[in-house]
Each structure stands twice: as C-alpha cells, then as structure tokens.
Amino acid sequence: MQKIKIYHDNLDDYNVEISAKRPRKYAGVEIVEQELQTLNTDYKNLLDKVLSYLNQLQDDESRIREFVSIIHNNLYFKKKTKTNK
C-alpha cells in the first residue's frame, strides 16, 4: 500500500511540473489572436471582392473593345461603299 501512495504522490508532483512548463494564455493574447483572425478574414474577403471587380472590369473591357471594333468595321464598310458608288 505504501508503494501505491508513493507512486501517486510522484504522479501528482509530475503533473504539477508539466502544468508549470505549459505556457499560459493571457486574456490579452486571446483578444489579439481573435482580432487577428477577424482581420485576416476581412482582408481575405476584401481581396476576393477586389479580384471579382477586376475580373468584371476585364470582361467589360473585352466587350467594349469588341463593340468598338464592330462599329469601326461598319463605319469603314459604309464609307467604302459610298466612295465606290
């Protein structure tokens, strides 16, 4: 029975040592960690939105270029047919 008590006491001492070695989180650290996570999420969402707008602008630019090309070709064709008459 004595050996079990000694073993149990040694386990208690060991647990205290392990607990003392673990870094403790302080309230301020947890708040900063949470704020950083929130900021990172907001930043990612903002980047996604900006990228979406950029893609939309590129699509719009392509359509405008295509439209201008069609208009230019039509005007050129009309001008050419008038001069040939």
3-state secondary structure 33-67: HHHHHHHHHHHHHHHHHHHHHHHHHHHHHHHHHHH
Q: Is the model's pLDDT at 68 over the cut of 80?
A: yes
CA 68 distance to own-chain centroid = 37
Highest mean pLDDT among 7-11, 48-52, 71-75: 48-52
11-15, 35-39, 42-46: range with lowest mean pLDDT: 11-15
CA pair distance 35, 67, nearest whole angstrom: 48
Q: Which residue has the higher pLDDT, 45 or 74?
A: 45
- Average confidence score pLDDT of the chain: 83
CA pair distance 75, 78, nearest whole angstrom: 5
Q: Is the model's pLDDT at 32 over the cut of 60?
A: yes
